[in-house]
């Protein structure tokens, strides 16, 4: 049977070790109170300013569920008729060269072209029309100036059959412009080398001399 050596057995020295440690602790406490006796509290304790914090009540937001927008009204669509649709003859809409700006026949006396190969020209130019204009006295007194646009209907012989005002300035100038155009002879307009009736707009200027 094995036996421990009493010189190296630590369990037998526990009591002696505890007593030595207790004596050392007491000696440290006595020395601490002897050399550091001042354990009184400080004379004055500085108090810091106390901050006041305002606490605001925050309302709890609620998300409202909005109703969906109303549906758009349906687009009315015409329902097909129950009746049978008869066969319809569709005319040929393709333009033929002879149908474009064709010269009028004897039955088309009142047809006046707007766009032709050669427009009617006043004999003597636009200056001849301006020289035939008589400035109304009422327009002179009122100081009326401007441009009158006269629509002239010129037949195949270059004669103005009738006129109308497209844009006027009043004070008798519109009538004076029409009268000057009616007095003027024109070189007839032509389409494919043949004289035709043409409707055209003629500007007549009214300016007071200073």
Angle at 204 between CA 207 and CA 146, to 5 degrees: 40
Question: What's 33-56 look like in SS3?
Answer: HHHCCCCCCCCCCCCCCCCCCCCC
Average pLDDT of the chain is: 76
Q: Which two tokens stand for residue 185?
A: 């002879």
Lowest mean pLDDT across 50-54, 71-75, 81-85, 192-196: 81-85
Q: Which two tokens stand for residue 103?
A: 């010269």
Q: What CA–CA distance (Å, rounded) separates 135 from 147?
A: 12
Angle at 94 between CA 88 and CA 98, to 5 degrees: 125
Sign of CA dihedral 164, 167, 170, 173: negative
What is the percentage of the chain residues whose pLDDT exceeds 70?
A: 62
**Bridge partners, 191 (sequence order):** 194
Angle at 167 between CA 162 and CA 173, to 5 degrees: 75
Contacts of 31 (CB under 8 A, 6+ apart): none
Please state the rounded mean pLDDT for residues 159-181: 90
Alpha helix (H) residue ranges in 36-136: 126-131
Which H helix or E strand runs over 142?
helix 137-142
Global confidence as pTM: 0.46
- Rounded to the nearest angstrom, the gap between the alpha carbon of residue 147 and the centroid of all alpha carbons in its chain is 36
| Domains defined for the chain, CATH in brackets | 104-206 (3.30.2420.10)
pLDDT tens figures, 4-18? 666 666 666 777 788
pLDDT tens figures, 55-73? 676 776 666 677 777 777 7
Of the pLDDT bands very low, low, confident and very high (cuts 50, 70, 90), residue 118 is confident
Inter-residue contact 147 to 201 (CB < 8 Å): no
Q: What CA–CA distance (Å, rounded) separates 145 from 204?
A: 11
Higher pLDDT, 50 or 69: 69
């Amino acid at each position: 049977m094995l036996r421990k050596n009493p010189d190296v057995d630590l369990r037998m020295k526990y009591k002696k070790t505890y007593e030595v440690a207790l004596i050392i602790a007491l000696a440290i406490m006595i020395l601490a109170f002897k050399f550091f006796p001042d354990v009184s509290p400080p004379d004055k304790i500085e108090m810091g300013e106390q901050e006041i914090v305002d606490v605001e009540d925050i309302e709890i937001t609620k998300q409202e569920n909005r109703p969906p927008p109303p549906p758009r009204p349906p687009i009315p669509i015409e329902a097909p008729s129950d009746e049978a649709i008869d066969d319809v003859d569709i005319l040929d809409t393709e333009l033929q060269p002879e149908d474009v700006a064709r010269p009028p026949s004897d039955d088309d006396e009142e047809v006046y072209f707007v766009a032709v190969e050669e427009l009617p020209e006043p004999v003597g130019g636009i200056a001849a029309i301006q020289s035939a204009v008589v400035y109304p006295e009422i327009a002179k007194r009122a100081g009326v100036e401007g441009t009158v646009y006269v629509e002239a209907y010129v037949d195949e012989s270059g004669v103005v059959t009738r006129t109308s005002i497209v844009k006027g300035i009043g004070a008798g100038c519109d009538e004076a412009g029409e009268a000057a155009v009616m007095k003027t002879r024109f070189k007839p307009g032509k389409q494919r080398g043949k004289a035709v009736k043409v409707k055209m707009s003629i500007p007549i200027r009214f300016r007071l001399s200073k």
